[in-house]
Amino acid sequence: MKSVLLLLSLIGVMACQSENAGTPDLKPEVVQTECAYPGLAGTPQAGYVLGTAARYTTINGEAIFQHDIILRPEDITAEPVGAQTTGRTRQTAKWPNKIVYYLIDPALPNPSRVYSAMSHIEANTAIRFVARTTQRGYVQFRNGSGCSANVGYSGSLQYVNLGIGCTTGNAIHEIGHAIGLWHEHTRSDRDQFIRINYDNIVNGYSYDFDTYVVQGYDGFDYGNQLDLSSVMMYGPYDFSKNGLPTITRRDGSIYTIQRNGLSPLDIATINAMYP
């Protein structure tokens, strides 16, 4: 087991930004990268998440991982409590019978984006969404400062937070987390396809660009290459501290991301998780 990570000294790190910020050479339309609290700084923390040493940021009393993943309070301890993991390969983190029970908060603006996102996922995968009645495990879609969600099935109430600026594509991304998808750039084989420019990342956030293996989580890589068109992919300038790219292709060139819907590889991955 790894030793306890020291608390990072930087307080009040830069919050999230859009994918095209500072990149006039890219196409003019802006794809918003998901972020739990846009415009708000957070406090870096360190501890054990489900028994694995991890770093995260606290904002408004919530533990945020990779900017839009919400960690549950019961998952975080100061000391290791056993070798547990959470993620795409743990059976208990998958929704039983491929059914996601849900509730939409009446206060959520523009609920049609949720219905559109669910319809898109149902049309392309084996996942089905059913309105919650008395089920203990379900996801609630509610208003938030930005876009965020828990990863995988928790067996109890969990949230997908959608601020007013979160689009249908952002909702698809967050539901992807809820059913168990990690960010595409954290694949274990990603260094064969992309380069992470750690010197350009906002101080204190470099760990959000590590692979899920380095971070101590379980998972699997479907397909034989990283998918730059994945709805779960970070943008090349996300969380840059100096306007220079944080992620490029191996040859140093810039790519674009999309939030139009699941890519073919996203669909194949979900169907492999939920056969």
Which residues are part of the catalytic machinery? 174
- Nearest by Cα to 206 from 179, 238, 180: 238
What sign for the dihedral angle of Cα 39, 45, 46, 50? negative
Query: Which tokens go with 10?
Result: 């930087």
Q: Which residues of 131-148 are buried (b: 16+ CB within 10 A; e: fewer)?
A: ebeeeebbbbbeebbbbb
Q: Would you call 53 helix, strand, or coil by DSSP?
A: strand
Rounded Cα–Cα distance for residues 12 and 154 (Å) = 30
Kindly state the tokens that stand for 209: 């660009």
70 three-state secondary structure: strand
Task: Give which of 230, 180, 186 is closest to 208, Cα–Cα.
Answer: 186
E strands, the chain, are 43-49, 52-59, 62-65, 69-71, 76-77, 99-104, 128-131, 138-143, 147-149, 157-162, 194-196, 247-249
Q: Taking a C-beta distance cutoff of 8 angstroms, is the pair 60, 37 a contact?
A: yes
CA distances (Å), origin 20, targets 113, 234, 248: 23, 11, 13
For the chain, the maximum distance between any two Cα atoms, rounded to a whole number of angstroms, is 52
